[in-house]
A and B are shown apart, each in its own frame.
Chain A
């Protein structure tokens, strides 16, 4: 019973390409998050959203944008991918104020 689905597990893109990472949750959660995971750095928050069409910058938003047109879907966009964006990207969702997050399996992006 998968609850947070990230559409792509592995992607390989070239420098300068536009990249879309899609995340869908089926738990009717208000909050959705995009984290980046790198060895030795743990998880760092890129963007989050607490409502449809609402977004807030996290700790490392530079080079990224997001879209949330429907409650269940939260997209991460790399307008012009760079090699330093090679990473594992984790989507999560949660109920407002509950602090408990459910994570997707992750999308491993390689930018050449």
Chain B
């Protein structure tokens, strides 16, 4: 079945460091790919998405490119801030019908130190 694998954390970086969180997927067909972020004590928020191969999603300085050839959707940010400390989830949506379910990776906790 469909699945998402993302790098295990926790990841600890200094402010202004470069961030990469790896995500790969297994899916039939042509899924949509997502990154969600969960700040402490809150629910998940959509960070960015890409709906087809070679699409780049971007938001708040974060980027991810949908690579069909490597089945990957790695999250990157050039210069992290303390406020980026959160848990990041990669997710896959592969149901074009009515259901709209998402399959999530296990999450990667990011801590950014001043």
Q: Which residues of A contact B (CB under 8 A)?
A: 4, 30-31, 33, 35, 40-43, 45, 48, 50-51, 56, 58, 90, 92, 94-106
- Residue in contact with A43 in the complex, picked from B41, B89, B93, B95, CB distance below 8 Å: B89
A-chain residues with CB within 8 Å of residue B41 when the two chains form the complex: 105
A-chain residues with CB within 8 Å of residue B36 when the two chains form the complex: 103
CB <8 Å contact, B43 and A104: yes
A-chain residues with CB within 8 Å of residue B77 when the two chains form the complex: none
Interface of B is mostly: loop
CB <8 Å contact, A42 and B106: yes
B17-49 contacts to A, CB under 8 A, are: 32, 34, 36, 41-46, 49
Q: Which residues of B contact A (CB under 8 A)?
A: 32, 34, 36, 41-46, 49, 89, 93, 95-102, 104-107
Q: How far is the CB of B95 from chain A (nearest CB, A)?
A: 7
A-chain residues with CB within 8 Å of residue B42 when the two chains form the complex: 105-106
Q: How far is the CB of A89 from chain B (nearest CB, A)?
A: 10
Interface centre among B34, B43, B99 (most CB of A within 10 A): B43
Kindly report which residue of chain B lies nearest to residue A4, judged by CB atoms.
B43
In the complex, 14 of the A-B residue pairs with CB atoms within 8 angstroms, ordered by the A residue number, are: A4-B43, A42-B89, A42-B105, A42-B106, A43-B107, A92-B44, A97-B100, A99-B32, A99-B95, A100-B46, A101-B46, A103-B36, A103-B43, A106-B42
CB <8 Å contact, A99 and B89: no
Q: How far is the CB of A30 from chain B (nearest CB, A)?
A: 7
CB <8 Å contact, A97 and B98: yes
Kindly report which residue of chain A lies nearest to residue B33, judged by CB atoms.
A99
